[in-house]
Amino acid sequence: MSGNQAPEFTWPDDDISRVPYQVYTDADIYAREQAQIFQGPTWNFLCLEAELPNPGDYKTTFVGEASIIVTRDDDGAINGLLNRCAHKGALVCYKPCGNTRHLTCVYHNWSYDLDGNLAAVAFSKGVGGQGGLPDDFETAGHGLQRLRIETYRGLIFGTFSDATPAFADYMGPKLLASIDRVLIKPLKVLGYHSQMLPNNWKLYAENTRDSYHASLLHVFHNTFGIVRPNMRGGVQIADSGWHHRSYAERVPAGDVEIDKEKVRSLKNQYSLEDVSLMEHVEELGDTVTNSIQTVFPSLVIQQILNALAVRQLVPRGPDRSELFWTILGFEDDDDALLELRLKVNNLVGPAGFVSMEDGLAGGLVQRGAVADPAARTVMPMGGPGIEPSVGSRVTEAAVRGFWKGWRECMGI
């Protein structure tokens, strides 16, 4: 280590329930995350197969800060390519999506096929016998860098690392089954938007795993008396700790003793005029009303009543991140179900009745964290480890699981 460098960050002990604030603010840690998390042994959500139905379709996306092109080639296969021309490093695709025969960099017209192989170099023979590529230039070694790709239930994942296990092993059987539960049929994209978050990406990654905050920060349901007493829920956590699922389900009447006192205490003077956005068509074969699942490091799979979505988390510097929402339905939705999804979608997103505060909360922690980088958070709920929870979501176990994964990837 050279004399002027700050000492490399180390976690002070084994405790994953106490997170040093430095991890949310430090530029060096942020840079290491790009290499060791996003380009490390992780499966990163890229986009949906439904967005690339035809050969030649492409879409650009992100893995960490890196721009990625996803293509469907003439064989119908999906390719993930680093969006960086092998020549000078310019983005090859600067449009968000389209259909093309070749991926051609506009700067000097180096052109790649849909698999990322370098197909043509402008003026490769020079002009009038002058210039051009040297005779020993090998085009084969100058394609776009490829990612390993796996698709699962219409989701496309990519990884830079050879060390990443097969996706099914990465998730483990429990959390693979919970993807199966939601993505039961061919998907249809209903729309897109994104949300700039004034906080480090990990604060949102924690927030989605933090089932403890749900009814405390988001008081919409309580305020309008739409909490049902006959609800139960829990938190599933992958054996690795890296991924989780938090859920709530309606227990059939008669299965539980309804606490009438509790029902009364939930009643208050406020009510919604139009409760149609709280309707629920049980389309997934069970009575689960909410299911929020993470795939480490950057994906959330959401079912809130009939509002389905995937959320992709992209870091934008140590103190900012961007959350890309893709709102989903199924291909065979009828008009009534589509209308219901669009109404229920009012609950989620940047303007969502029960989610807009997530944009605020991370920013509050970010603003608090700068005061003392060495100080630590305190997350003891349901602890100290990564135990799953049945019957209660008052736990921070999945957040601790995230930190277990983070430390393993970072070697910290």
Partner 1 sequence: MNTDQSLRLRIEDLFTDYVHTIDDDRLEEWPDYFTDAGRYRIITRENHERGLPAALIYCDGKGMLRDRISAMRKANVFDPQTYCHTGGAVQVVGADDDGIQVRSNFTVIRTLSDGAMSTFACGRYLDRITEEDGALKFAERTVVIDSRRVDTLLVIPL
Q: Rule CB under 8 A: which residues touch partner 1? A: 189-198, 217, 219-220, 223-224, 270, 272-274, 276-277, 322, 327, 338, 342-343, 345-346, 349-351, 353, 356-357, 359-360, 363
Task: Give the residue with the Cβ less far from partner 1, 101 or 193.
Answer: 193
Q: In 325-369, which ranges are continuous DSSP H helix?
A: 335-344, 357-369
As a whole number of angstroms, the distance between CA 57 and CA 62 comes to 17
Task: Residue 45: count other Cβ atoms within 10 Å of its Cβ.
Answer: 24
Task: Give the residue with the Cβ less far from partner 1, 14 or 273.
Answer: 273
Task: Give the residue with the Cβ less far from partner 1, 113 or 319.
Answer: 319
Q: Shortest Cβ distance from residue 51 to partner 1 (Å)?
A: 11
Task: Give the residue with the Cβ less far from partner 1, 309 or 381.
Answer: 309
DSSP-assigned letters across all residues of 107-124: TT--EE-TT--EEE-TTT
Q: Shortest Cβ distance from residue 325 to partner 1 (Å)?
A: 9
As a whole number of angstroms, the distance between CA 334 and CA 346 comes to 19
Q: Shortest Cβ distance from residue 338 to partner 1 (Å)?
A: 7
Q: Shortest Cβ distance from residue 196 to partner 1 (Å)?
A: 5
Task: Give the residue with the Cβ less far from partner 1, 100 or 109.
Answer: 100
Task: Give the residue with the Cβ less far from partner 1, 365 or 412.
Answer: 365
C-alpha distances in Å from residue 4, one per residue of 1, 7, 8, 281: 8, 9, 12, 61
Task: Give the residue with the Cβ less far from partner 1, 24 or 403.
Answer: 24
Q: How large is the greatest C-alpha to C-alpha distance in the chain, in angstroms? A: 91
As a whole number of angstroms, the distance between CA 176 and CA 240 comes to 13
- Six-digit token string for 281: 């068509």
Are residues 382 and 222 in contact, defined by beta-carbon separation less than 8 angstroms? no
As a whole number of angstroms, the distance between CA 340 and CA 261 comes to 32
Closest CA to 395 of 385, 384, 386, 382: 382
Q: Shortest Cβ distance from residue 152 to partner 1 (Å)?
A: 23
Q: Shortest Cβ distance from residue 44 to partner 1 (Å)?
A: 20
Q: Shortest Cβ distance from residue 329 to partner 1 (Å)?
A: 9
- Six-digit token string for 355: 């989610």
Task: Produce one character per residue of 150-162: b if its CB has 16 or more CB atoms within 10 Å, e if not.
Answer: bebbbbbbbbbee
